[in-house]
Amino acid sequence: MSTRILAFDRMGTVLGESLAAGWRERGGCVLDASAGGGLACALAGAAPHGVVLTEPCLDESAFVGKALAAPDAAAEFAAELHRQTMAFLADCRAAIRAMMPAGRGYVLALCIDDFAAGILELPQTPIANQARAAALKSMAKEYGRMGLGFTMFVCQPPREMVERSAWRTHREQLKVYALRYRPVGVGGYARFILSMLDGDPTANGSVLCLGNGVMEMTA
């Protein structure tokens, strides 16, 4: 049996690295498209088991903050949004085209729920998150019947994403009514997400919100 390939649009993100490590532990092979040329090049001739589109990293709130003081920032942000959305769609298209011939495969899109971004000083990505969710739901409706699965994971900020002390410092702010926020480690997210790659798609077109303690916003 050939080694199963899990392709990544890029490495270096917290969740992406953890998934790659988890996949290798399972005996799978990792293909990193960030090395050059993007997913379309990396997937040429490959038949991946799945493709992971890692979490968006453009801090949208930073641009919004700048836009009031510097009008050029608005156009700069809009152009960057365009670039980012086009890149995401191009990666999705490359993944679909690579997996269609086999009639099976998964596109797993990751994002970090930014409910606590303002508190923890993390990037806020509501535009990218919602754009990706809507695109993946559409792709599932279009290509699910061909055996392809599309699932988006909205993960609450993992434990490793900020300094350990920050969780203590902001404990009260992160509490929702009586429910205390308990950060999940990246390993926990990776185990759950990789389990979706076993068998037939069971959450096709779904946006799954992972974490403990706070309701998600992207769904």
Identity of the amino acid at 26: R
Q: How many residues does the chain have?
A: 219
Pick from 21, 30, 47, 61: which binds other proteins (CB under 8 A)?
61
97 binds other proteins (CB under 8 A): yes
142 binds other proteins (CB under 8 A): yes
Contact range with other proteins by CB under 8 A, out of 2-10, 24-32, 45-53, 128-136: 128-136
Q: 123 is written with which tokens?
A: 């990037």
88 binds other proteins (CB under 8 A): yes
Identity of the amino acid at 150: F
Nearer to other proteins, 8 or 63 (CB): 63
Q: 130 is written with which tokens?
A: 């919602």
Q: What angle do CA 36, 38, 42 make, to 5 degrees?
A: 85
Euclidean distance between CA atoms 22 and 20, whole angstroms: 5
Instruction: Tell me 72's DSSP state.
Output: H
User: What is the smallest separation between the CB atom of 145 and other proteins, expressed in angstroms?
Assistant: 9
Pick from 45, 68, 165, 200: which binds other proteins (CB under 8 A)?
68
User: What is the smallest separation between the CB atom of 119 and other proteins, expressed in angstroms?
Assistant: 12
Euclidean distance between CA atoms 141 and 144, whole angstroms: 6
Identity of the amino acid at 109: A
65 binds other proteins (CB under 8 A): yes
User: What is the smallest separation between the CB atom of 165 and other proteins, expressed in angstroms?
Assistant: 26
62 binds other proteins (CB under 8 A): no
Nearer to other proteins, 126 or 213 (CB): 126
Pick from 33, 132, 149, 158: which binds other proteins (CB under 8 A)?
132
Q: How far is CA 60 from CA 92, 124, 154, in A?
A: 22, 6, 17
Angle between helical axes of 126-143 and 72-99 (0-180°, round to 10): 30
Chain residues that interact with other proteins, rule: CB under 8 A = 60-61, 63-65, 67-68, 71, 73-75, 77-79, 81-82, 85-86, 88-90, 92-93, 96-97, 100, 118, 124-143, 205, 217-218
